Structure formats: C-alpha cells, structure tokens
Amino acid sequence: MERINVLIVDDEPLARRKIRQLLETDPQIGQIAESANAMDAVQKIQQIDPAILFLDVEMPEADGFSVITSLEGKTLPLIIFITAYDQYALKAFEVYAFDYLLKPFDYERFEKTVERAKRKLDELQKEDLVKQLKQLFSKAKPGASLPTRLAVKNGQRVSFVNIRDIDWIEAEGNYVRIHIGKESHLLRDAISNMESRLDPGKFLRIHRSTIVNIDRIRELHSWFHGEYHVILQNGKELLLTRSYRDNLRGLLGR
C-alpha cells in the first residue's frame, strides 16, 4: 500500500497534536496536515487529497458535517469523526463516516480505528486494480489491430520474431529483454510501452519488470505476503508480486 495522507480537523490545538503524535509512529502514514476550521479543511482536502480524514464534529462557525456537505459529489476520504458527545455517533454514520472516536480516547482505541481504516484502504486499492483490468480488457476488442511480430536488430541485421512465441519479457533499464525458448533479444523500449503493444488476453504484467505469456504458465506456488512463484513450462521461475496478483486471478479465472 502507498503511504497514506491524513488530514486532522479540530479547533483544539491539543487535540490535533495528540492525533499527530499517535500517527507519526506509524510508518505507513505519509503527509499529515491540520486544519482548525471547516473552511480551511475543505481547501486542505483539495490540496493533499487525504485518504483518511479525522474530523471534529463541534467547531466554531461551521461543524464537521458541513465539511462533508461542501464536498458533495466528490470522492471522499475515509472519515473518522471526533466528538465528545455520544449522541453524534448515529448522525455520523448517516453521512457515511467510517468510524468515530469519542473524546477522550486512549491509544488502544485509536490504534484499532487506524488499523481498520488501513485495511479498508487496502481493499479499495485492490478493487481499483480490478476495475483498471476490466477497462484494459474492454479496449482489447475482437479484431483490434495488434502487432503479430516484433523487429529485432542484431548488429546490421534486422530479423522478426512472432509475438506468440515469446515466453516472457523482462525490463533491463531502458531496454527490454525478450525470451523465446533458449534465445533472448534485447530491444530499446520501456516495458510499459511493450505492454501496451501486446494482447492483454495473452500477456500479463506480473511484476513492474516482468510480462509473461499466459499460455506458458505451468503452475503457481503461493509465497509470502500474497506473492506467488510463477513456474513456466520450460522450468523458468518468475515472481508475481502482490500488486499484480488480482490481474493474474482475473485472467486465469476466464
């Protein structure tokens, strides 16, 4: 998961400081911004795009609920309301608050809330990856114009390789290495560009530096932290990182 930006909105400096100090011990937390009122909070949300918003209910001039109202129609962060009044809890959930902290809260309660929020963000991130994959498939319509061969330059000679014969591709700096059986060819190209030229129904990115021909996969071995070892028909072992796990599941579940 990427580092998480957080915005703390509370008119009490001590309350903001307490939350900041608790968050600063968490290595997954990125930028931490503060606002003392609703108007400034709306501006800060637009500036830093926080993933988590700690929002005080009772503030001078405008309460925390007005912040939510002003952002209607926009993608909201996970909202954790902060309140000293228990009766606000029900109203908080009516406006889609993720959770609420009742002042004065202790470290254990705070940590539990933050951990739940991080798990939720991780789930949402995976859902976004699945949506991106579906969009990718929708672009690859039957009959779409995709190359069937690649030109490979060896010295003064240019030869052609059939894309369907490629086993896997790996990035090497500003180049990509094409593996076909026992041979390999080095092309000056970015792996992202190469990915866009391949049929997404046949080739899959399994690592930021690796693309594999789906038909060459023999088996998968589950590894640590949601990663997999991908074993090809020729015995070559590649790594499927957690970030690309949902992509492979989507294709193999066809």
Residues 36 and 131 both lie in one domain: yes
With a pLDDT cut of 90, the percent of the chain lying above it is: 33
* Final residue in a domain of this structure, among 110, 136, 162: 136
Query: Is 146's pLDDT higher than 80?
Result: no
Q: Which domain holds residue 85?
A: 4-136
Residues 177 and 240 both lie in one domain: yes
Residues 102 and 171 both lie in one domain: no
Least confident of 67-71, 155-159, 195-199, 250-254: 250-254
Residues 87 and 14 both lie in one domain: yes
Least confident of 6-10, 26-30, 80-84, 233-237: 80-84
**Between residues 239 and 127, which one has the greater pLDDT?**
239
CA atoms within 13 A on the CB side of 157: 4
Q: What contacts 119, CB < 8 A, 6 or more positions away? A: none
DSSP 3-state of 197: coil
Q: What is the pTM of this model?
A: 0.50
Establish if 142 belongs to a structural domain: no
Residues 180 and 121 both lie in one domain: no
Establish if 56 belongs to a structural domain: yes
CATH assignment of the domain containing 10: 3.40.50.2300
Smallest Cα–Cα separation from 42: which of 15, 16, 75, 66? 66
Establish if 143 belongs to a structural domain: no
Establish if 144 belongs to a structural domain: no
Question: Which range among 145-149, 162-166, 194-198 has the greatest average pLDDT?
Answer: 162-166
Residues 123 and 222 both lie in one domain: no
* Final residue in a domain of this structure, among 105, 136, 167: 136
- What total of structural domains would you count in the chain? 2
Q: How far apart are the first and last CA of the chain?
A: 27
Smallest Cα–Cα separation from 168: which of 218, 220, 217, 96? 217
* Final residue in a domain of this structure, among 115, 136, 157: 136
Establish if 25 belongs to a structural domain: yes
Render the burial of 58-86: b for 16+ CB within 10 Å, e for the rest. Answer: ebeeebbbebbeebeeeebbbbbbbbeee
Model pLDDT for residues 64-113, shown as the tens digit of each residue: 777 877 776 677 788 898 888 766 665 655 556 788 888 888 999 999 99
